[in-house]
Structure 1
Amino acid sequence: MTSETATPPVIVERRDEVVWITINRPKRLNAYDLDMAKTMTRAFEQATDAYAVVLQGAGGAFCAGGALDNLSDPDPAALRELFTGSLRLVDAIRACPRPVIAAVDGAAAGGGNELVIACDFALATERSTFGQTGPRVGSSPVLGGTNMLTVQLGEKRAREMAMLCRRYNAQQALRWGMINEVLPDAESLHDAVLRWVDEIKQLSPRYLEITKISANQWWNQSKENMHAGLGMLIQAIGSEDMLEGATAFLEKRRPAFRPPRRMPRRD
């Protein structure tokens, strides 16, 4: 039995009145499935009496977003559930009354990058990378990458990240204001998270909650856009571009998308 099958895919621990959520599927870069999304959502919803929540990934990666295994032969009902489950997950992070810290060590890609966007604070190691994958794999980052990221980075930088699918290192993410601090390695990252938690513990939980909920203004205004984007993703399930993007990703090759169709002229 491998260590990955011997331990749960999401580990939820309570240490010194802090909830630690660890995404534990390192062999697939901590990409999550529907059950994992549900477990994380419950953990955020049940953390109301903690000082803070820490979200991290195991094995040298943060999170590669939703699992792409089934996109090349999609089950529309299952994909719809994963998409809507992802929306509930990012919304649970924002609705959690306690501060949520993303502790990023390794790649935060696609939906994993959107988890970072949703968190209140983000700390990362030097080796960490950030970026969206949507148009490259036959999807779109509608749960933060096309809306809230604009608030955090500004429109041009956000569109660059969401549309071009480039990778950015931790220092770039820090300069752009996407994360709060960069640490040399995983050990110093852990120490820094504890330092941030200690600072949070000195503050009023009641007024931190008021401040967080009030600061959700732009997130709340983006919710309608997220639902609309999610609806378009659901309608595109099984499309030619989704199948090609997902298959190319799984086969580790460059996707060969067809060019846009020429519209007939109207004389």
Structure 2
Amino acid sequence: MSEGTSETKSEVTQHAGGDVEVFDKGTTKWIRLNRPERRNAYDGPMAHAIADVLEDVSTYHSVVITGSGGSFCAGGALTGLAEPDMKNMRGLYKASLRLFDAIRTCPRPVIAAVNGAAAGGGNELVVACDLAIAARSATFGQTGPKVGSSPVTGATNVMGVQIGEKRAKELSMLCRRYDAQRAYEMGLVNEVVGDDQLEQAVDAMCAELATKSPRYIEITKISSNLWWNAARDSFSTGLGMLVQAIGSPDMREGAQAFIDKRKPEFPDPA
């Protein structure tokens, strides 16, 4: 999808130092992650900036989240994880949870316009969104155990409801990558379109939502959070375990191997 969507530059607002761009298209609020040099991986300030926008969209009919530079989102930024700082890591985990909760409690439908790789927390971002349309070149997959982490905020719990437990464990444990068509077949996205048709398809879905009652769309959305709410304690417990694992040999090796672009050599099981 072109980054020069129908907005004009004067209509774009910058958040988190330009890492997040926000603009309007009719009755839809668009949020574009703008850190292409790290495949739009988010840090704490980025996640909080997105959540801030999501908490102030009551006058719109829908919200779209997309990426820049040919990537959707690579999840939480791995920079510094080889030598992790406890305070910063806690902050990133807390910001991630706030971001995903903001998507789910946002009164308007949130659509993922997946224009490229959705990896790790980026794949969980798709899980959190109410609806998702993918460009044909988009890819999907979890990275947790491969990089010294675990996808506890969506992939290990809610994704099982969406695509089935065995498939969710396959994504979460094996860390394979899937193309857009396979993601559609599994139920991870609602639609797959040509790369040059993504914006048009998203606009069409937003236009369709705009013909519906905002009041009853909100009731429908919040009611549909049954399984998300049921899994919410699992998120907190999982993040608590991740905090306890900060600085572990597995985290350090996974992050360093990712940075070095090599296969990790994790310690043998104790």
Partner of 1:221: 230
Q: Is the contact between residue 144 and residue 150 of structure 2 (CA under 8 Å) also seen in structure 1?
A: yes
| Corresponding residue to 1:43 among 47, 53, 58 | 53
**TM-score, structure 1 as length reference:** 0.94
Give the aligned partner of residue 175 of structure 2. 165
* TM superposition shift of 1:78: 0.6
- 1:147 is matched with 157
2:207 aligned to which of 198, 222, 231: 198
Calculate percent identity across the aligned residue pairs: 56
SS in 1 for 2:218: helix
Residue pairs, 1:184-263, within 5 angstroms = 184-185=194-195, 187-261=196-270
- Are the aligned partners of 2:136 and 2:181 in contact in 1 as well (CA < 8 Å)? yes
CA root-mean-square deviation: 0.7
Write the distance in 2 (CA, Å) between the matches of 1:257 and 1:177. 32
- Cα deviation digits, residues 96-122 of structure 1 (max 9, x gap): 010000000110000000000000000
Distance (Å, rounded) in 2 between the aligned partners of 1:208 and 1:168: 31
Could you report, residue by residue, the CA deviation over 1:169-222 in whole angstroms, capped at 9, with x for unpaired residues?
A: 10000001110000111x300000000011001000000000000000000000
- Mapping 1:48-59, distance limit 5 Å: 48-59=58-69
Aligned length in residues? 254
Equivalent-residue separation in structure 1 for 2:27 and 2:89 (angstroms)? 35
Match of 1:265 in 2: none
2: CA distance between counterparts of 1:222 and 1:123? 24
Aligned counterparts, 1:69-84, within 5 A: 69-84=79-94
- 1:74 CA drift (Å): 0.5
Q: Which structure 2 residue ranges, 5 or more long, are not aligned?
A: 1-16
> Is 1:179–2:170 an aligned residue pair?
no
SS in 2 for 1:62: strand
One-letter amino acid of the structure 2 residue matched with residue 177 of structure 1: G
Structure 2 SS opposite 1:254: coil
Partner of 1:120: 130
Segments of 4+ moved more than 3 angstroms:
none
Please, what TM-score do these two structures have when normalized by structure 2? 0.93
Matches within 5 A, 1:60-99: 60-99=70-109
Contact 2:27–2:210 (Cα < 8 Å) also in 1: no
Q: CA deviation at 1:91?
A: 0.6
Unaligned runs of 5+ in 1: 1-6, 262-267
Instruction: Compare CA radii of gyration and give the structure with the larger one.
Output: 1
- Distance, in Å, in 2 between the alignment partners of 1:12 and 1:41 is 12
